[in-house]
Amino acid sequence: MRDKINALLAEVEQFPVGNKEQLEAFRIRFLGTKSILKDLFSGLKDVAPEDKKAVGGLINDLKNRAQEKFDAFNQQGETTESEVSGMDFTRPGEGKKIGSIHPISLLTNKFTEIFKRLGFVVADGPEIEDDWHNFTALNTPEEHPARDMQDTFFIQQNPNILLRTQTSSGQVHYMENKKPPIRVISPGRVYRNEAISARAHCFFHQIEGLYVDEKVSFADLKQTLDFFAKEMYGEKTKIRLRPSFFPFTEPSAEMDVSCSICNGDGCNICKHSGWVEIGGCGMVDPNVLSNCGIDPEKYSGFAFGFGIERMTMMKYQVKDLRLFSENDVRFLEQFKSEI
Ligand code: DAH
């Protein structure tokens, strides 16, 4: 009996368990319900009574050893299987790169947050527009010379449908659908057939603002823009409104912000003038109000439209507007900390 146990112990040690099938064969032989060990235990009854305890102990040791070996290889087997499937779960993970918010979105979010505090809501309009919303309703009828300034992309064969050249079209949509008081900003992408350079692109982004109520004045406009500039670029920021012309506002102005890079001393971003132009503004022309079904005798309003790229370039000292649309991660990664 002892010899048999010793022989089986040797067999347990040598039994190959390198794969699933071998391990299963091992289990059946030594641990299953019809295993060889079962036979050994039932053979115990024939062992001399004084030997029974010792032999029983040996069979138990054999059983424990078989179980140990099975357990060890059973666990390993899982790894082996995963290796076969081409995956090694024991390898340290490769870190996933975390993306960042695009600087244009960062600035838009900040802008929105500032105007929300003043009670403005956000609304967007379509990028594919009709002539009425992009031009005619905005007091820019056909043959108006101001149309030439905006090199429009028309949809072929239909001169009535175009890619919007300005977010001002959003004003028209909003006023057609809502009654005063209106306080809305409308950010979005616009398109113009312009040569691409460090300062211009065939698509870019604007943010439009519109406030219509009783007795809205130019002083309200100035105050709002001054508040915005200080919130966006810092306490010391100044604004400058230069008389200008837009068909949809009267009077109209061009808005400059003191350069936050050089604090007005002169640098590349402000072309050594100390000021950066960020867009236009003015009092909504009464014709625009009545085109949109709002009584100009009762209501007045101000509007503005700013270039988001311009504002972003100054905020983050970006010198070339093309960087915004190239999707170079080395550029985009620099804005991680701004989130
Ligand atoms: N839409 C004008 C442009 O693209 C910018 C603008 C000027 C918008 C004056 C306005 C405004 O709302 O009042 O050049």
Tokens linked to 247: 């068909």
Residue in this structure with the two tokens 């949509």, named with its chain if needed = 173
How far is residue 44's CA from residue 49's CA, in Å, rounded to a whole number? 9
Q: Name 242's bridge partners.
A: 254
Q: What is the pLDDT of residue 107?
A: 97
Report DSSP state, residue 93: P
Beta-sheet strand order (sheet of 158-163): 128-130, 158-163, 154-155
Q: Provide Rg for the chain, Cα atoms.
A: 39
Cβ of residue 324 lying under 6 Å from some atom of ligand 1: no
Distance 30 CA to ligand 1 centre (A): 87
Cβ burial, residue 195 (10 Å; 0-12/13-18/19+): exposed
Q: 3-class SS at 283?
A: strand
Is the pLDDT score of 331 beyond 80?
yes
Residue in this structure with the two tokens 């490769």, named with its chain if needed = 94
Q: Indicate the pLDDT class of residue 98, thresholds 50, 70 and 90.
A: confident
Distance 207 CA to ligand 1 centre (A): 9
Closest to 281 (Cα-Cα) out of 337, 225, 199: 225
Give the C-alpha distances (Å, rounded to integers) separating 176 from 139, 158, 180, 293.
Answer: 15, 24, 11, 6
Q: What is the pLDDT of residue 44?
A: 85
Cβ of residue 304 lying under 6 Å from some atom of ligand 1: yes
Superfamily holding 103-338? Bira Bifunctional Protein; Domain 2 (3.30.930.10)
Write the pLDDT tens digit of every residue in 171-186.
999 999 999 999 999 9
Write the pLDDT tens digit of every residue in 276-328.
999 999 999 999 999 999 999 999 999 999 999 999 999 999 989 999 999 99
Torsion, Cα 192 195 196 199, to 10 degrees, reads: -80
Highest mean pLDDT among 82-86, 226-230, 334-338: 226-230
Cβ of residue 280 lying under 6 Å from some atom of ligand 1: yes
Tell which atom from ligand 1 comes closest to the C-alpha of 279: 5
Residue with the bigger pLDDT between 109 and 47: it is 109
Q: With contact defined as beta carbons under 8 Å apart, do 166 and 192 qualify?
A: no
Tokens linked to 333: 């990664």
Distance 310 CA to ligand 1 centre (A): 14
How far is residue 20's CA from residue 35's CA, in Å, rounded to a whole number? 18
Q: How many CB atoms lie within 10 A of CB 284?
A: 26
Cβ of residue 191 lying under 6 Å from some atom of ligand 1: no
pTM as predicted = 0.74
Cα–chain center distance at 103: 10
| Minimum CA distance residue for ligand 1 atom 7 | 280
Q: What is the pLDDT of residue 181?
A: 97
Tell which atom from ligand 1 comes closest to the C-alpha of 305: 8
Distance 190 CA to ligand 1 centre (A): 12
Q: 3-class SS at 317?
A: coil
Mean pLDDT of the chain: 91
**β 154-155/121-122 pair status:** unpaired
Give residues with Cβ within 8 angstroms of 48, minimum separation 6.
Answer: none
